[in-house]
Amino acid sequence: MMTYPHNSIALRLSGMFTLVALVVFLLIGGALYQQVDKGLGLLPEAELEARYSVLESALNRFGTPEHWVKINAKLKLLGEEDKRIRFWVVSGDPGYEYGQPDAAIRAFAQGPLGMHDLQLPDHPYPLKVLLTELPAKDQRPPLRFMIGIDTETFHETQHNLLIALIGLAIVGVLMASALGYWVARIGLKPLIKLSHEAQRLAPPLRAGRLRLSPLPPELAQFVDSFNSTLERVEQAYSRLESFNADVAHELRSPLTNLIGQTQVALTRGRSAEHYFEVLQSNLEELERLRSIINDMLFLASADQGNKATKLTSTSLADEVATTLEYLDFILEDAQVEVQVSGDALVQIEVAHLRRALINLLSNAVQHTGPGQVIEVRIEVEAHQVSIGVANPGSPIASEHLPRLFERFYRVDASRSNSGNNHGLGLAIVKAIALMHGGDVFVRSDRGMNTFGIYLPV
């Protein structure tokens, strides 16, 4: 048995799990990253506000140079305590300045008040800066006060978070695909068990059915249809077997007759008339054999799906009349009369139709007593034409009706009168109907037995 690894259901499921995990991690990770990033972005500003609020009152309270020395020392101390923090004080008066502001800082300090980003030349990341103005107080002029914080640590945190999220996502996706494969293998166990069981079903299939228990509902329908296929195969198989047995039976009696007659003739010298009679009788048996074999060949070709091809537009009443002429002597012998009613034009292969009519009519003659009447009715219906051959006769039990068109099926299983009848007549009628896209029917009511065919118009 060929297996295609890339087609494996377990692999495909685990691939889908991986895809789902990837999408979920991307969505959750992206949302998480955005939220944390927003929070991180606010942190420097909050820290600046907090630090400024501690300093603000001291800055506003004092205006003398002595106090400014103290404030400068305080700012210096704070800057040394936390290297991320920088202070600048800009004013016209060098006595009230701090942080050695260069031209760029001075220009920045004259800009609008509030929170800003300030890129210093020696820093990889911008500083977050809070710019405020202090009004003049005592001897000191108005000041511009700047407090800045280095955002490098925040950027580092952000970067680390991104790496951690990507790492987690990769590990998560890998785990989802491995676990997915494992879970899929477990989930598919019933399927594997089922295929093992199917392998155990070896011909001749007798009573062999898939029996999985417990049966998962997803597989119930499959098991059902598989089992009914097995059932049909089994039936076809047993029909084939009994067909073979029937064929052997049918062939045996003419052969036995042939051999018996020939042996008797050979026991001693016979007159020419005697040999003539034996040959005559042998010829009849041989013709019987040929007719059985012809019928079987015809059925075999119909089985292979051969359809009627040489269709000609034909009047059914005309065909029935021709067939009756052909059966003239038989009808006379049996002393039965045939009445034909109705007519229709159909597309039909004439030789086939005639063969079907002969089979139907000769059956009817065989089952009709002397002096009685056989009725042939041709009726046009909506989408089809029916030809029914009805003869008076004892009712046929309903259990036989659907099976009469089967090969070798007879109501009287003893094969009486098997001289001329080998049980394939109605099977051939049915094959001919099917070859024309039609069907057969049989009815047994009010003392009349009707056998017939439907043909499409």
Ligand X SMILES: Nc1ncnc2c1ncn2[C@@H]1O[C@H](COP(=O)(O)OP(=O)(O)O)[C@@H](O)[C@H]1O
Binding site for ligand X (CB under 6 A): 359, 363-364, 367, 391, 393, 396, 404, 410-412, 421-427, 449, 451
Region from 95-103, 127-135, 245-253, 362-370 binding Mg ion, contact rule CB under 5 A: 362-370
Four-residue CA torsion sign, 324, 329, 330, 332:
positive
CB of residue 316 to ligand X, shortest distance in Å: 19
* SS3 call for 309: coil
The span from the CA of 162 to the CA of 37, in Å, is: 10
Kindly tell me which of 153 and 421 has the beta carbon lying closer to Mg ion: 421
Residue 144 binds: one of ligand X, Mg ion, none (C-beta under 5 to 8 A by kind): none
What proportions of the chain, in percent to the nearest 5, are helix, strand and coil? 55, 15, 25
CB of residue 247 to ligand X, shortest distance in Å: 14
Kindly tell me which of 44 and 425 has the beta carbon lying closer to Mg ion: 425
Residue 364 binds: one of ligand X, Mg ion, none (C-beta under 5 to 8 A by kind): ligand X
Are 420 and 285 spatial neighbours (Cβ–Cβ below 8 Å)? no
DSSP per-residue letters across 35-99: HHHHHHHHHHHHHHHHHHHHHHHHHHH--SHHHHHHHHHHHHHHHHH-TTEEEEEE-SSGGG-BS
Kindly tell me which of 52 and 243 has the beta carbon lying closer to ligand X: 243
Kindly tell me which of 78 and 299 has the beta carbon lying closer to ligand X: 299
Residue 151 binds: one of ligand X, Mg ion, none (C-beta under 5 to 8 A by kind): none
Q: Which two tokens stand for residue 110?
A: 């004259």
Non-local (6+) Cβ contacts of 257 within 8 A are 281, 285
Kindly tell me which of 185 and 249 has the beta carbon lying closer to ligand X: 249
The partner residues of 386 in beta bridges, in order of sequence, read: 379, 454
The span from the CA of 212 to the CA of 178, in Å, is: 28
Non-local (6+) Cβ contacts of 403 within 8 A are 409
Q: Which two tokens stand for residue 287?
A: 């013709």
Q: Show contacts with Mg ion in window 402-431 (CB under 5 A).
A: 421, 425
CB of residue 363 to Mg ion, shortest distance in Å: 4
Residue 404 binds: one of ligand X, Mg ion, none (C-beta under 5 to 8 A by kind): ligand X
CB of residue 406 to ligand X, shortest distance in Å: 8
Q: Show contacts with Mg ion in window 39-98 (CB under 5 A).
A: none
Residue type, 105: I
CB of residue 1 to Mg ion, shortest distance in Å: 48
CB of residue 319 to ligand X, shortest distance in Å: 19
Determine, following the binding rule CB under 5 A, whether residue 368 of this chain makes contact with Mg ion.
no
CB of residue 307 to ligand X, shortest distance in Å: 22
Kindly tell me which of 132 and 421 has the beta carbon lying closer to Mg ion: 421
Site of tokens 């999985």: 212
The span from the CA of 313 to the CA of 368, in Å, is: 32
CB of residue 367 to ligand X, shortest distance in Å: 4
CB of residue 361 to ligand X, shortest distance in Å: 9
Determine, following the binding rule CB under 5 A, whether residue 363 of this chain makes contact with Mg ion.
yes
The span from the CA of 215 to the CA of 24, in Å, is: 33
The span from the CA of 77 to the CA of 285, in Å, is: 133
Region from 31-39, 189-197, 358-366, 372-380 binding Mg ion, contact rule CB under 5 A: 358-366
Non-local (6+) Cβ contacts of 248 within 8 A are none
Kindly tell me which of 344 and 424 has the beta carbon lying closer to Mg ion: 424
Determine, following the binding rule CB under 5 A, whether residue 391 of this chain makes contact with Mg ion.
no
Residue 214, preceding peptide bond in cis (omega within 30° of 0): yes
Kindly tell me which of 190 and 392 has the beta carbon lying closer to Mg ion: 392
Q: Which residues bind Mg ion (CB under 5 A)?
A: 363, 421, 425
